[in-house]
Amino acid sequence: MSEFWIYFNIGLRHVLDINAYDHVLFLIALVVPYAFKDWKRVLLLVTLFTLGHTLSLMLSVYGIVYIKANLVEFLIPITILVTALFHLFTAGKSSKNESVSFVAFVTLFFGIIHGLGFSNYFKTILPGAASDKLLPLLEFALGIETAQIIVVLVVLILSYIIQTFFRFSKRDWTLVMSAFVIGVVLPMIISSEIWNR
């Protein structure tokens, strides 16, 4: 049972690590236009994201899929930028319901990319002689999922407070937070190692 907590905690801390905030940025960009009343849609998106990154994590750890780490590290901030730009340009528009299938597909695809990023990290912590990778992998993924739920809840609570007590409109909140995420992620893209090749 103690081994469960080891991999669970590693997954939890990997997302909530202040120095590795790219995953948190993606979740902020993904959830910022939604409120608690949209919980079904938020749950769908977060679940699709989890399915995507768990699938790619498994495929990568078992050696079925391999992508260079520097390419994955470049693509992750691109996914954050695209998500934030989408919400920046659709903030306040009533066509949100029509675009949910597009957002769902993109979220699943972006989950696959983020999972590849996790796989590089996971392979470094998995003991070399570990014959059974599935159980530690699922424990690690469960820790990641728990951390994601924490981040989503914090974003939704903050959104509620800002919109209720500070009288921000939903549109303004989405614009400000999407712009903030874009401002943080652009330097990550510009400073990527991929440009050095």
- Report pLDDT for 129: 46
- The domain locations on the chain are 2-196
- Report pLDDT for 25: 94
Closest CA to 77 of 117, 120, 35: 117
Predicted model pTM: 0.89
Span between the terminal Cα atoms of the chain, in Å? 45
Residue whose pair of structure tokens reads 């993904």 in the numeric block: 30
Q: pLDDT digit string (tens) for 21-74?
A: 888 999 999 999 999 999 889 988 988 998 898 899 889 888 888 888 889 989
Alpha helices in 91-169 (DSSP H): 100-125, 134-165
DSSP 8-state code for residue 94: G
Out of 85-89, 129-133, 144-148, pick the least confident.
129-133
